[in-house]
Amino acid sequence: MSMQAHLAELERRHKALEAEIEKETLRPSSDDAHVHELKKKKLQLKDEITKLKSASTVH
């Protein structure tokens, strides 16, 4: 998988998590622990995306 394809996949997953978080928080009986876990995963993806983008600009 090329770096561009990998980056695109990470960004797609990040957006999917964002949508899932929004959907979960709008539910009347949302699970705070689940939302927290989703946000944690989203942040990890964002960190990985940022690292990949900065690594590609250095080279």
Domain count, the chain: 1
Domain of residue 15 covers 3-58
**Burial per residue of 17-28, b for 16 or more beta-carbon CB atoms within 10 angstroms, e otherwise:** beeebeeeeeee
Task: Supply the pLDDT for residue 40.
Answer: 98
Task: Supply the pLDDT for residue 45.
Answer: 97
13 pLDDT tier (thresholds 50, 70, 90): very high
Q: What is the pLDDT of residues 19-43, one digit of tens each?
A: 999 999 999 998 999 999 999 999 9
Average pLDDT, the chain: 93
Diameter of the chain measured on Cα atoms: 48
Amino acid at 56: S
What does pTM read for this prediction?
A: 0.85
Picking from 12, 17, 8, 6, the residue whose alpha carbon sits closest to that of residue 42 is 17
Task: Supply the pLDDT for residue 18.
Answer: 97
